[in-house]
Amino acid sequence: MKVLVADPISPKGVELLKKEGFETVEAYGSTPEQIKELIKDADAVIVRSETKITADVLDCAKKLKAVGRAGVGVDNIDIPAASEKGVVVMNTPTGNTIATAELTFTHIMVGTRPITQANASIHEGKWDRKTFKGTELKNKTLAVLGMGRIGTEVSKRAMAFGMKVIAYDPFLTEARAKTLGVEIVPLDEAFKQADYVTVHMPLTEATKYMIDERAFSLMKKGVRVFNCARGGIIKETALVEALKSGKVAAAGLDVYESEPLAKDSPLRQFPNLVLTPHLGASTKEAQESCGIEVAEVIASALKGGAIRNSVNKPSVDAESMKQISPYIQLCEKMGTFAQQAASGRVKKIVIKYYGKLGNLDNKLLTIAVEKGYLSKITENANDLNSPSKMKHLGIEVESINTTSEADYSELVEVDLVLENGIVENVAGTVMGKMAKPVIVQIGSYKVAANLTNKCAIMLKNNDTPGMVGVIGTLLGKHNCNIANMTLARMDGGLALSVYELDGVPSAEAVAELKGLKNVDAVKVVDLS
């Protein structure tokens, strides 16, 4: 079998492929047209960030079984096109963990002691000790926003320097935080308490501009801020103003809203802002680790072994897929719905399968729930890494096959056990010839909410006449098209309605909904 190595990887990775008996073609610096020619008879291709594996390239590949990315990001690979052609796409998500954590802490160190500025001064022939007074890390408070693999490694290094570590991560449990030796705090409290702030989250709608003008206004004067995660989490214009005012004493960036950084960027004017050109994974060890790992996963996939680090859905045998497939979308959408509808921090998820589902091996369905739960809060959640991501968050997942009777012949129930002991649940099934995924119960309310629309608003209000009209009028005013709605109520209590929309409503629309008289709670669920 032939493996095309389109971008440079560690020689040890190439050597491993050859030892495994693969014809290994190194074609570094090839043009797109050359790649199309070379990939025609390739069984696998390995890339970094330079070579683009587009739908056109995949159309030329007649034998391709796998694409390996020596790194985390897969923006240069057309995942849907690969999935459609049955090509597994794999990355190496752990290879750069230590490299990025160490770069982050390097930024923290040079933001504490002005090493780079002092070095430049010496090279200019000066001897100016008074200008370069620094501070100490000991007894300072570091706020880590995002306690994934990299955030965890940064925390360990900070504690070794005698720092107090507080963490903002809405999906990390108290038990896991205790194990890591960090204190969970709300985001605003993290901003208020921190002497240092570092971000380690994916760039999503929720995290974009997480550190903006308002965030800086909450911080201490003289705070130090660092980002080696994703450009756009820190609003650069806000950082510029905070540096000008002296609110931020020092900062460090390895990532930017637009890369490469523009030559006329105002970020370049501050000597107390250390800038690096996206060097997170740029160490000999990280590159070697990624090169070896990508060679290993490719070799395993081609030889029929375990598929590791897949970022698209692995294939299953036809008979299993025939039984499971109608429920996979249901389970994934229910996981997404449940995560966004939860009213508190989740410590455990219990998934119950009723009817004929109770007699099947539901491992794939449980993973689908996990993947859906993670879809809006983490990057690259897939069938293989979702269980480990849930474990890292400290969330226990249990699946139960039951023969107990239910209202439907096949039913999936997702119970969220919150840290305060409250259990919140949703239940769903598939309906009709098209096997439409539908939520049929939310808590004790019987509903019929389709999960195929882009957004759902779940709203509780006092059971008074006219509320449906008021809500519909408000949504219409904000150009929110209602695709469907369902309503349930209890005698003398709160009514629950679910409005299915063609798109996610604006923040203004949601604020108006929450401000309506008789409205008790509003949850927006993005199902896109």
Residues taking part in catalysis:
230, 259, 278
What 8-state DSSP symbol labels residue 311?
S
User: What 3-state class would DSSP assign to 300?
Assistant: helix
User: What token pair was written down for 57?
Assistant: 């390239």
Please give the order of strands across the beta sheet that includes 519-526: 482-489, 494-501, 455-462, 519-526
User: What token pair was written down for 119?
Assistant: 């070095």
Own/partner long-range contacts of 423-429 (Cβ < 8 Å, ≥24 apart): 424/338, 424/341, 424/342, 424/343, 426/334, 426/337, 426/338, 426/341, 428/330, 428/333, 428/334, 429/330
- Crossing angle of helices 97-110 and 115-123, in 10° steps, is 70
Q: HSE of 134 in the Cβ direction (CA atoms, 13 Å)? A: 16
φ and ψ of 358, to 5 deg: -70, -10
φ and ψ of 220, to 5 deg: -65, 150
Torsion angle, CA of 7/13/15/19, rounded to 10 degrees? -120
What 8-state DSSP symbol labels residue 51?
S
Please give the order of strands across the beta sheet that includes 66-69: 23-26, 2-5, 44-47, 66-69, 88-90
State the sign of the Cα–Cα–Cα–Cα dihedral 55, 57, 61, 64: negative
Residue 501 near residue 481 (C-beta atoms within 8 A): yes
Among residues 164, 157, 102, 119, the alpha carbon closest in space to that of 138 is found at 164
